[in-house]
Chain A
């Protein structure tokens, strides 16, 4: 019973998100003799997918024209764009930046879209396996990737095998495609092993929160899209809000903070909740109820941080590499597009070699190149960032320089050097009360009797060096209170990891200032079950 099964495929894709599913669909469209499978760590396709999500539909229309016949559960055409700057009390309308015009785009639930894409893929003969995380990469003696090892099931808390222990299968494939999304654990391993980031700018990330609300009748205008910058963030922290009005009195509200923030006492979760209490937002939400909520890290490094997307036997696509277009705040069309380009490349050439150049030369690659300097410009602060963004926009990104990023883990000030900005934050009365109450809206499933999947390589510094230098920022950047400093029973403190709260956002893996946290997938099917996010 405990032998490890081996399954053979032509192509194995890790991650049933927009990139992975688009790639699978395109592969079978190009060559229906290919055996293709897609692994997904969520219990069902779409349960871990979360995004704004305003989608440029052209790639979808080309790939699966029938998608509009049976649209995702949430599907609202964009109607009107508004862009504002917030102060504590006021909201000042700015001109909407050209990248943020959404005419022709649609607001939808990424989870819903992924479910539809999985159906299309299965109709084309792709094997989609939800509940099976990629736990390891398989290599041959020539250092070529030859497949994926799926996660074991039924391992007890102490690492021993429980009565239902089932070893994960090994999937051997001619080509392995990593479509894990932002900060995938296998992608991280491969980027390090093949030095795919050599000569690239450091990758940089953001953390995005999103809630789906149902409001009292008559408050929403379906298709209205609002973005804000400014309060509650200080001028040195990149980020802003989104508010997308849906049908049936529902609205998406969300907030994104750059993870290159400097203040060790900053809490991105609290910033989101504060935004909801701005007078212009509070009046909208008051009296409504939250239907669901979720959090995810977002890749923001742009083309200068995009690692080489190919290695022997494998490729990175979508946000596993980092194809998101930050000024547009859109990643879905880029992910879909990169999946299609990868599939076409494999179908045309039969090898992963050359994919990196193929992507960079494509329309998607050029789109990224054009906007490469906008996000890093905000390192200098909000106003210089906006001025730089305007300059880059009017020159179509043709200026002869490329700005660098800063690694997020290294951007925190120590508490001794931290100038704590006056945040001018308010008393809150809208739900959720705190992070644990918020986690409740993400309907997490997680068998507690499994090993902790957040691997902290050295917990001895938590109560000593980290407490002194940074005051344990993990207890604030984690959106789900996974990390807690508790009494150790001997008058001191120790780290407690509440792994069952984990939303799989991977912010800890990114922001921890000592780079000692590794996020690995828990038992298949664990994690949030996002509903219409």
Chain B
């Protein structure tokens, strides 16, 4: 079986994201970029499935500028076999991304598509679901456990009330949650091997995907500043302070 893993280049989760001076986006100059952490979990899961002998080939794909090659090389160093970059300078919205990925699915015919449940930059949580709909195959989102058995996948999902276990027919789209696994560290010799693994680049225009923008960004705003706290000496003072705030 072939697994297609979708990854996205995002601002690293440690970075303090800042609005740019024009107010129409965030600062990316000199900012550390990484593989979206949920996507890294998806790559790790694919590797574990292959290590169990349940898959033969792992293909990683990304949509973005040529800089996204760096994140694809990271996935290759972790152990993926080859990579595809759909190159564009535009920032795609979830539906457009899903359509592009659908084209790749048609081309590659994977038995399983793995992706992060959402990217930590726009937190949309839509692309995996939309891909499943476009492809006409089942979806299992928020996965914290994945077990394959022949033509089926048993997936434990993290839902509001706890855990839910479902069974889906393969091929399917599975999106990964935080507790599914802890990705491995990349080893130095594998970084060298990754440099020689195939990385195919496809221009977005060549895929002939229609992308009318469905969403419009109104404004970017930093979260409100936290007000300075006050030290309180006694319970009475606390009660009075809460009353002043109208909490009590």
Contact = CB atoms under 8 A, between A and B. Distances in A.
Interface of A: 5, 7, 43-44, 46-47, 73-74, 109, 111-112, 115, 127, 129, 131-132, 150, 153-154, 163-164, 166, 169, 214, 248-249, 291-292, 433, 440-441, 443-445, 524, 529, 531-532
Contacts of B107: none
Given A164-B182, A214-B21, A531 B30 contact: yes
SS class of chain B's interface: helix, strand, loop or mixed? loop
A44 B15 CA distance: 13
A489 B96 CA distance: 59
Contacts of A433: 228
Nearest to B70: A44
B184 interface: yes
Closest CB pairs A-B (n = 10):
A153-B185, A445-B14, A532-B30, A166-B185, A73-B29, A73-B30, A169-B188, A443-B14, A531-B30, A443-B16
B15 A531 contact: yes
Contacts of B12: 43, 445, 529
B15 A529 contact: yes
Q: Which of A43, A74, A169, A531 has the most chain B CB within a 10 Å cutoff?
A: A531
B200 to A, nearest CB: 21
A444 B185 contact: no
Given A127-B192, A214-B21, A441-B16, A529 B32 contact: yes
Contacts of A248: 21
Interface residues of B, number: 22
Contact of A166 (B15, B31, B187): B187
Interface in B191-214: 191-192
A443 B15 contact: yes
Interface in B31-47: 31-32
Nearest to A291: B18
A319 B182 CA distance: 37
A154 to B, nearest CB: 6
B43 to A, nearest CB: 14
Given A5-B189, A73-B29, A163-B182, 13 more contacts: A7-B189, A127-B192, A150-B188, A153-B185, A164-B183, A164-B185, A166-B184, A291-B18, A292-B16, A443-B14, A524-B185, A531-B15, A532-B29
Contact of B32 (A47, A74, A112, A214): A47
A434 to B, nearest CB: 12
A214 B15 CA distance: 17
A217 to B, nearest CB: 9
A5 B187 contact: yes
B14 A169 contact: no
B14 A444 contact: yes
A115 B16 CA distance: 20
B225 to A, nearest CB: 10
27 contacts: A5-B188, A7-B188, A7-B189, A7-B192, A43-B32, A109-B30, A111-B30, A112-B30, A115-B30, A129-B191, A150-B188, A154-B185, A164-B185, A166-B187, A169-B187, A214-B21, A249-B21, A433-B228, A441-B16, A443-B16, A445-B12, A529-B12, A529-B32, A531-B15, A531-B30, A531-B31, A532-B29
A154 B32 CA distance: 22
Contacts of B27: 291
Contacts of A129: 188, 191
A109 B32 CA distance: 15
Nearest to A531: B30
B178 to A, nearest CB: 15
A12 to B, nearest CB: 11
Contacts, number: 63
Contacts of A529: 12, 14-15, 32
Q: Which of B30, B31, B192 has the most chain A CB within a 10 Å cutoff?
A: B30
A248 B30 CA distance: 15
Interface of B: 12, 14-16, 18, 21, 27, 29-32, 182-189, 191-192, 228
A357 B187 CA distance: 38
Contacts of A440: 16
Contacts of B16: 292, 440-441, 443, 531
Q: Which of A7, A44, A433 has the most chain B CB within a 10 Å cutoff?
A: A44
Contacts of A169: 187-189
A466 to B, nearest CB: 30
Nearest to B12: A529
A467 to B, nearest CB: 26
A440 B17 CA distance: 12
Nearest to B192: A127
Contacts of A443: 14-16
Nearest to B190: A5
Contacts of A166: 184-185, 187
Contacts of A115: 30
Contacts of A249: 21
A251 B32 CA distance: 21
Nearest to B184: A164
A44 B182 contact: no
A15 B188 CA distance: 16
Contacts of A46: 30
Contacts of A43: 12, 32
A150 B228 CA distance: 44
A166 B185 CA distance: 7
A132 to B, nearest CB: 6
Nearest to A249: B21
Given A44-B32, A529-B32, A531-B30, A132 B188 contact: yes
B74 to A, nearest CB: 10
A312 B83 CA distance: 44
Nearest to B33: A44
A259 to B, nearest CB: 29
